[in-house]
Structure 1
Amino acid sequence: MLLIGNQDRPRLFDLNIQKPEPLFETAVEIDERITIEGDVLREPDPDRIREQLRKLRDSGIEAVAICLLHAFANSAHEELAESIAREVGFENISRSSHLSPLIKIISRGDTTVVDAYLNPVLQNYVASLRARLGDSRIQLMTSAGGLVDADHFSGKDSILSGPAGGVVGFSEVGLQAGFPKSIGFDMGGTSTDVSRFDGDFEREFETRKAGVRIFAPMLAIETVAAGGGSICDFDGVKLHVGPASAGADPGPACYGAGGPLTVTDVNLYLGKILPEYFPFRLNLEIVERKLQEICDRIASSPLGKIYTPEELAEGFQQIANANMVRAIRNISVAKGYDPSEYALVSFGGAGGQHACALARSLGMRDIVIHPYAGILSAYGIGVSDVRQFAARALLTPWSDEFQSTLDELFAELEQEATAQVLAEGVRPEQILPSTRTLELRYKGVDSTIIVPEPEAGTDYPTRYGELHQQRYGYQHAERPIEVVNARIEVVGRMPRPDWPRVAEQDIELASSESTVVLFNGKWETTSIYHRRELHPGARITGPAIVFEPTSTVVIDPGFTARIGTQGELLIKDVSQDASPEISATEVDPVQLEIFNNLFASIAEQMGVTLQMTSCSTNVKERLDFSCAIFTPAGDLVVNAPHIPVHLGAMGETVRSVLRDNPEIAPGDVFVTNDPYRGGSHLPDVTVVTPVHDEKSGELLFLTASRAHHAEIGGIVPGSMPPFSTNLAEEGVVIRNFKLIDRGTSREAELKALLLSGPYPSRSVEDNLSDVSAQVAANRSGAVQLLELVDRYTRPVVQAYMRFIQEAAAAKMRMALAQLPDGVYERTDHQDDGSPVCVKIRKQGETATVDFTGTGSVLPTNLNANRAIVTAAVLYVFRCMINEDIPLNSGVLEPITIQLPECMLNPPNQERPEDCAAIVGGNVETSQKVVDVLLGALELAAASQGTMNNLTFGDGSFGYYETICGGSGATGDAAGADAVHTHMTNTRMTDPEVFERRYPVRLWEFAIREGSGGRGKHKGGDGIIRRIEFLRGLKVSMLSERRGEYLPFGLKGGEPGARGKNSLKKANETEFTDLGGKFAINVEPGDQLQIETPGGGGYGAI
């Protein structure tokens, strides 16, 4: 189950899918079962557990993690397993119900495994400290920003202990300097950490680090792969900084150990690092040579841009700064906070060299750099308090009766947490008033909000509604509220060092030393100061360098600095920020990378806005949505890395809106889901927002968002009918409807449309709410694009949209050039025998993709359309480029698609009743098209070739999920097990949440071993998912690869196993095959078993 996780793949365009390596050596199952309510269905056998654990112990296993389903509701079985583990000799035991007694077994299980994995290492470390320190008391920092005695330190709390010290440190430094709101900027050798403080710490209680889900309190820290060791290079089209790092060995090029060019080297060349004060000799000649080599490569590339080493070095620095600015915007702007209201507290070995540039980019006027900036994490640990948390999973509706129990509940939690604090040696008088919070959510929604204890005169539901309105832009006063978790924090205040303050003397310092530093293309004489010689009140005017043993601070021109009473540097931007002059006619590789990051950041923040403001489970939890930016002609510029089947198709939609509405005016917004106008299938609703120049009214850009609505009408709830025969049976068709007309909403007309037709939507209010969320997401993108225009000018912004597309086209041509000229073809089949044919004619740097020979339009719903096929072609050819580039229309510039009328391109008709059904084409045929294309190019064997679309419900609810399978092997690697592939990447609902929310019981959720095709590289295995229904429901399934046409292998590799859907009635003992598509009624006790296909193998054994 932990190997399956949420079923999503970490990198969208990697054919060699690399899921995080498991941290456990082996896993054993205990035959027991507890319900979501905590009732025992099946008692465990202690003798069998004892036998299993003895075998583990005898095999050399030293640590054990215990995690059982629903142990948060009843921990008895876990406690039994723990006692037996101790009995047979295990000392390192981690139990999930003790570490994190909260719902969500995937996150709780990962957390328990991490704890068991790290505890032996930590214990050895603590033992070595004790050996050196004798009887000294040892406290360690937790990821939550609190101290804990070494005897009580747990592996799960150590993940971010170092960065957490930095957060505590920078917040204390900011407060001492008079800034109650600050943003920490910690730049080290390989990465940069940023975080926000506004009088209290921002925490996360569920997060993912290095691919592992963690269920434990952590300070919210954003990490970006940009540090002093980040590698600077040119890839033939654009410059990039990171994410790869030189590390400590070999280190930067200037270390003389054969390392690559890095940010440290760039700073050395620019004069921002003083080699005479470095602890060992730095080699500037190597840096100059490497910069010149890259200049020569750029000059000889198709770009033909002539750089001097100085220009290139400054360009690399600008790119590195842009990467870090993006991270700070993610923790501030993306969450509704204005960074200009915060001070930037810079620390880490490299932070001081970049702080001024970052602050200026973000509009932050104040910078604080403490004397201990190079070791601020250690400083933060020294000023930390003891903190303990206690939590309880509740999962109960809010009611007057529940409210009456709150004081008693919090008293119990407070007693538990206080006892832990007192056990740390804290005296009772040091304990501060506890902090009480409830995690609340609307019933039926997974996303929660942590609500602090309300002030007198209000209550938790009221405060929850206010926070929901603030964060998401709406609230549902009529919807029931569910209490998920109660949590309490108890703090033991530790003595603070009495830092001496020295009276300030207002003196403008003169320096006896100077150097030259390159700022904005000009070498400027720059004063050098030694930190030890600076006294409180002293003033410095930039440009200047302040040197200290652990770091170097660069004060840019336009900044001044003053020494505070504790020796801190208080830097202020006193300049009038001028927009950079950038050519709109000649591409600059530096600006190309910067604008690429700017546009990508806007698309990502559109996605954040949509996820925050939507009320749909599909959007908030399954992440079944996509956001993108387009040129005035409707060509895709950049998208956030969301759902591939949406991305290529949205360009068709935007161009359709432009064709149907030649007189688009400022303030217009359109909504559509028509598959014959660029849509995918009817539940995927797209909102398109034209962005005009505010003065001239000229159309500048378009923003768009596509989201899967849980309901849009049709013959079955959930709008995913397995047996639809025309478009009308699949729901309400919205054809480029003008939702907002010159700023005036036409929501009433949209509501009438959703209620019209033979099969209207069953959830119109949810449709309208999600459409409003999409409008908000588009608006956020529009605002940010107009801000770019204000900063860089319209010609420059539009030029770099074009340049980014041209860069993607150049990358595609380079990839095609590596493919031998010739004809590549393949045919596969739908389960009904209909052929899907492709012939790729490749010549030089171009290719023609011809689908002639594909079967005719189908009477079923497995028809696709041009938009879906375009998305599949775009995805496949993007996968050929094994680099991080934006997915945009430039990828298709060297490619011609020939698509005759067939099942992939049925003709459009005026009446939906006369249009071919298409719902299965989006989710099923799209996967087959990708398999055929990859197979023709011999890039990968077939993956599972289906999304396994399951829906069930009744008149009171509906549920929809897509289910993972095996990925196809490639010439380089085996296929991945149990993962979503190609045209989808939605997440799976956690098993405990699944059972909590719906009348079902999940009996099996496991990898289907042996289902991947054999070969030199084995295909990935599918999964088995067995669900018992606890009440009568309607269940439907839309899936492929259940017939004679298996997921094919390549180069002698064997095919993957076909999938199978079967049902066992409550009064029967055998499962009956249901086929690939069915719509049935189930009764209590009936069990549905879904076995998903494996991927094909690659290469003969």
Structure 2
Amino acid sequence: MLALGVDVGGTFTDLLLADLGSERVTIHKTPSTPSNPALGVVEGITGICALAGVKPAEIEMLFHGTTVGTNAMLTHSGAVTGMITNAGFRDILHIGRHQRPQHYSIIQDLPWQSRPMIRRRHRLTVNGRLDASGQELEPLDEVAVAEAARKLGEAGVEAVLVGFLFSYVNPAHERRAAEIVRGVLPDVFVTTSSEVAPQFREFERFTTAAMSAFIGPKVRRYIAELEDRMRGLGITAELHVMTSSGGLATPTMIAEKPAATLLSGLVAGVRAGAWIGRHSGTDRLITLDIGGTSADIGIIQDGRLAEADARSASIAGFPVMLPMIDIHTIGAGGGSIAHIDAGGAFRVGPQSAGADPGPAAYGRGGTCPTVTDANVVLGRLVPERFLGGRMALDRAASEAVIATLAAELGRGPEETAEGALTVLNSNMANAIRSRTVQKGIDPRDFTLAGFGGAGPLHAAEVAGMLGIRSVLIPRHPGITSATGLLTADLEYHVLRTAFAVKGAIDVDRLNGLFDDMEAELANLFEGDGVQPARRKLLREGDLRYVGQGYELKIDLPAGLLDEAALEGVWQAFHDRHRAEYGHAFTDSPIEIVTVKARGIGEVEKLDRPPRPPERAAPRPVGRGRCVFRVNDVLGEYDIPHYEREELGVDQPLEGPAIVLQIDTTTVVPPGWSFVQDAAGNLMLTLIDAA
């Protein structure tokens, strides 16, 4: 069975074609087409099929990671969106909460005010009101809803959000209003807050639903066009799209909930890290995915991907109430520009030279000193072997821009280049500390997985700053996200608000909520053709001490809940609270705020990495000068260059060394050893830790 994973990035579209019945794998990279990403995907599919010697029509499964929704949020280029809400609550999306991202700043940027997804003139109100229990206090003014829809249509909106108070308890008013809007505006994307995020906290619920409306038309058009072009290639396989929770969804589900794709491509990379780590004997990893502009960090504990909580989940500064893998992104990559800021401090990023003109080394007219240029000056990138020799780097151009910066600093070129890398690596190490040390996690207990085009260049030195003694570099670091797409299952989430306090819980009601949710998931899987034997249902709950403002997610047991089962839940919450905050209030009442059901539908996927071919003891394909700082002394080393494809299995070598391959370069600093394992991963280890 041929399965294809396609991950669309800002610069390249990465593809991995696997024959799931054998170990045959083909990889391919093609330039992305930002103006119409579907074109780049089609070109990539055509190219990889030619490389593999197969026809597109032979592809039986197609998995996709997309940044269409993410980019629409980051560039604020979504649809003209309107909103219909309760009378008197027009400005919830603007006011937000009394809490602010930076508590003590009087000049901070609040994106929901400085760049709203829905302009105030497009937020209209109607009469109709429910109370907190979902009982109707005032009937919905259906005439006013129709009139509001007409006004929004005349204003040229492309999407409409219907968001009412307490719809998470009773969605009747929202559903009826949406039905009316669709009747008046049949060509407009319409969604409701109860469809997208049926949870309490109206600001976050409305904002999340506004996101879905804002990106909805663009995502829906993209998926529809991609499906059409797939059919044009003769591909009849159903498209499956990676969601922010790390699972796959069908185009129908994505059309209904486009916000589920907000972290699509990034999550695929973290998922691949977990899969790769499992086959290399480790289930505790920190993933570091470094591209040209940004570095994305994920945490994997005991094989599970860390999930974002309600306090920190956000996209482009907007809060998100959707299941999301916890990924932290900073402006650090190969194109990050080294500069002296207005205060005289030496900084690297977040400004980036991008792909065009890119670093000076690209020879496209770039004049800013970047991380790539620093790596060239230090000998860590081999100009003649960049991208497998398909692209030669301009060493003289890199030396010139680094020399200019060095003159401003009053330092030597090599010291300046090494300083730029140290600053960048420190930024990434600090970002990892914020996701580990500040959450009570010791990074020294983890393996650092470095991938992306620049991850293997920096992973070992970042690990050294964190006290991490082992680094994993996947076999194909540049297409790791495409690999992750082929390791996922279908995954759907449903939830209900419970508000049940320990000691006064209606157990029958709680069991009824789970019965309803699991029936809903069963219907979804029936529609997708997933047989009962390939389904798995998991239960979770958001719990808090009564009076707390935020919740912690706790696994709940399967089967009929009773008092004995709930005792284990209370203890699990105390333990989790102690781990998260350093203390627990064991005598305080606990409240179950939300109950959740997660449905997993197993699909055919990549079982294990192909074993690398047996090789003789590897010989260097070249040597070169490389600069490293060891024991605070900057020194030159004459180091060997190895070709990744020529490395055998379990043949340890010592650094310093450089390992070359088409999609990246791996730097092994002094004091580290490296070996390729049976799963094809390059494992770097501190020599004194062996």
TM above 0.5: yes
1:20-47 CA-to-partner distances (Å, cap 9, x unmatched) read: 4112242111222222222222222111
- Alpha-carbon distance between aligned partners in 2 of 1:317 and 1:111, rounded to the nearest angstrom: 38
1:368 maps to what in 2? 472
Query: Is 1:102–1:393's contact at 8 Å kept on the other side of the alignment?
Result: yes
Query: Is 1:146–1:384's contact at 8 Å kept on the other side of the alignment?
Result: yes
2:115 maps to what in 1? 21
1:270 Cα deviation from its structure 2 partner: 1.1
Amino acid at match of 1:6: R
Q: Which has the larger radius of gyration?
A: 1
Query: Is 1:504–1:538's contact at 8 Å kept on the other side of the alignment?
Result: no
Amino acid at match of 1:446: G
1:609 maps to what in 2? none
Amino acid at match of 2:419: G
2:253 maps to what in 1? 152
Matched, 1:143 2:241: no
Amino acid at match of 2:385: Y
- Alpha-carbon distance between aligned partners in 1 of 2:221 and 2:279, rounded to the nearest angstrom: 37
Query: Is 1:509–1:540's contact at 8 Å kept on the other side of the alignment?
Result: no
Which of 451, 459, 464 is the aligned partner of 1:355? 459
Amino acid at match of 2:467: G
- Alpha-carbon distance between aligned partners in 1 of 2:689 and 2:515, rounded to the nearest angstrom: 55
- Alpha-carbon distance between aligned partners in 2 of 1:424 and 1:259, rounded to the nearest angstrom: 52
Query: Is 1:502–1:566's contact at 8 Å kept on the other side of the alignment?
Result: yes
- Alpha-carbon distance between aligned partners in 2 of 1:473 and 1:105, rounded to the nearest angstrom: 30
1:422 to 1:547, Cα distance in 2 relative to 1, 3 A: farther
1:552 Cα deviation from its structure 2 partner: 1.1
Which of 383, 404, 421 is the aligned partner of 1:293? 404
Matched, 1:317 2:412: no
1:224 to 1:68, Cα distance in 2 relative to 1, 3 A: same
1:436-493 CA-to-partner distances (Å, cap 9, x unmatched) read: 1111111111121111125977432222222222322332233222211001111112
- Alpha-carbon distance between aligned partners in 2 of 1:541 and 1:59, rounded to the nearest angstrom: 67
Amino acid at match of 1:176: H
1:613-652 matches, within 5 Å, as: none
User: SS in structure 1 opposite 2:653?
Assistant: strand
Which of 425, 432, 435 is the aligned partner of 1:331? 435
1:445-844 matches, within 5 Å, as: 445-453=548-556, 458-499=567-608, 501-502=610-611, 508-520=617-629, 521-575=634-688
1:137 to 1:291, Cα distance in 2 relative to 1, 3 A: same
1:791-839 CA-to-partner distances (Å, cap 9, x unmatched) read: xxxxxxxxxxxxxxxxxxxxxxxxxxxxxxxxxxxxxxxxxxxxxxxxx
- Alpha-carbon distance between aligned partners in 2 of 1:258 and 1:191, rounded to the nearest angstrom: 19
- Alpha-carbon distance between aligned partners in 2 of 1:505 and 1:130, rounded to the nearest angstrom: 41
User: SS in structure 2 opposite 1:565?
Assistant: coil
- Alpha-carbon distance between aligned partners in 2 of 1:336 and 1:364, rounded to the nearest angstrom: 16
Which of 369, 375, 382 is the aligned partner of 1:267? 375
Query: Is 2:612–2:679's contact at 8 Å kept on the other side of the alignment?
Result: no
RMSD over aligned Cα, in angstroms?
Answer: 2.2
| Larger RCO, structures 1/2 (Cα 8 Å, 6+ apart) | 2
- Alpha-carbon distance between aligned partners in 2 of 1:188 and 1:121, rounded to the nearest angstrom: 25
Query: Is 2:543–2:551's contact at 8 Å kept on the other side of the alignment?
Result: yes
Which of 41, 45, 52 is the aligned partner of 2:141? 45
2:273 maps to what in 1? 170
1:201 to 1:419, Cα distance in 2 relative to 1, 3 A: farther
Amino acid at match of 2:297: V
- Alpha-carbon distance between aligned partners in 2 of 1:309 and 1:497, rounded to the nearest angstrom: 46
Amino acid at match of 1:224: I
1:320 Cα deviation from its structure 2 partner: 0.4
User: SS in structure 2 opposite 1:136?
Assistant: coil
Amino acid at match of 1:60: G
1:960 maps to what in 2? none
Which of 269, 274, 285 is the aligned partner of 1:182? 285
1:576-606 CA-to-partner distances (Å, cap 9, x unmatched) read: 79xxxxxxxxxxxxxxxxxxxxxxxxxxxxx
User: SS in structure 2 opposite 1:389?
Assistant: strand
1:83-482 matches, within 5 Å, as: 83-90=179-186, 91-134=188-231, 135-153=236-254, 154-198=257-301, 199-206=303-310, 207-235=313-341, 237-256=344-363, 257-278=365-386, 279-299=390-410, 307-399=411-503, 401-432=505-536, 434-453=537-556, 458-482=567-591
User: SS in structure 2 opposite 1:345?
Assistant: strand
Amino acid at match of 1:37: S
1:510 Cα deviation from its structure 2 partner: 2.7
Query: Is 2:337–2:351's contact at 8 Å kept on the other side of the alignment?
Result: yes
Total equivalences in the alignment? 569
- Alpha-carbon distance between aligned partners in 1 of 2:359 and 2:319, rounded to the nearest angstrom: 33
Amino acid at match of 1:148: A
User: SS in structure 2 opposite 1:459?
Assistant: helix
1:2 maps to what in 2? 93
2:174 maps to what in 1? 78
Matched, 1:58 2:169: no
1:461 to 1:498, Cα distance in 2 relative to 1, 3 A: closer
User: 5+ unaligned residues in a row in structure 2: which ranges?
Assistant: 1-91, 559-563
Q: With structure 1 as the length reference, what TM-score do the two structures score?
A: 0.50
1:249 to 1:8, Cα distance in 2 relative to 1, 3 A: farther
1:703 maps to what in 2? none
Percentage of matched positions with identical amino acids: 31
1:81 Cα deviation from its structure 2 partner: 0.8
* Range with greater deviation from structure 2 (27-36 or 446-455): 446-455
1:897-1046 matches, within 5 Å, as: none
Query: Is 2:369–2:405's contact at 8 Å kept on the other side of the alignment?
Result: no
1:1069-1088 CA-to-partner distances (Å, cap 9, x unmatched) read: xxxxxxxxxxxxxxxxxxxx
Query: Is 1:507–1:537's contact at 8 Å kept on the other side of the alignment?
Result: no
- Alpha-carbon distance between aligned partners in 2 of 1:390 and 1:16, rounded to the nearest angstrom: 35
Amino acid at match of 1:273: L
Query: Is 1:117–1:155's contact at 8 Å kept on the other side of the alignment?
Result: no
Query: Is 1:252–1:265's contact at 8 Å kept on the other side of the alignment?
Result: yes
Amino acid at match of 1:318: T
1:33 maps to what in 2? 129
- Alpha-carbon distance between aligned partners in 1 of 2:293 and 2:106, rounded to the nearest angstrom: 24
- Alpha-carbon distance between aligned partners in 2 of 1:104 and 1:402, rounded to the nearest angstrom: 23
Q: As a proportion of its length, which structure holds more helix?
A: 2
1:156 to 1:289, Cα distance in 2 relative to 1, 3 A: same
- Alpha-carbon distance between aligned partners in 1 of 2:171 and 2:400, rounded to the nearest angstrom: 64
- Alpha-carbon distance between aligned partners in 1 of 2:507 and 2:515, rounded to the nearest angstrom: 14
Amino acid at match of 1:497: L
1:177 Cα deviation from its structure 2 partner: 0.6
1:501 Cα deviation from its structure 2 partner: 4.8
1:59 Cα deviation from its structure 2 partner: 2.7
Query: Is 1:33–1:42's contact at 8 Å kept on the other side of the alignment?
Result: yes
1:544 Cα deviation from its structure 2 partner: 1.3
1:769-800 CA-to-partner distances (Å, cap 9, x unmatched) read: xxxxxxxxxxxxxxxxxxxxxxxxxxxxxxxx
- Alpha-carbon distance between aligned partners in 2 of 1:506 and 1:130, rounded to the nearest angstrom: 42
1:418 Cα deviation from its structure 2 partner: 2.9
Query: Is 1:509–1:539's contact at 8 Å kept on the other side of the alignment?
Result: no
1:397 to 1:357, Cα distance in 2 relative to 1, 3 A: same
User: SS in structure 2 opposite 1:72?
Assistant: coil
- Alpha-carbon distance between aligned partners in 1 of 2:616 and 2:288, rounded to the nearest angstrom: 29
User: SS in structure 2 opposite 1:264?
Assistant: helix
User: 5+ unaligned residues in a row in structure 1: which ranges?
Assistant: 300-306, 578-1101
1:978-1001 CA-to-partner distances (Å, cap 9, x unmatched) read: xxxxxxxxxxxxxxxxxxxxxxxx
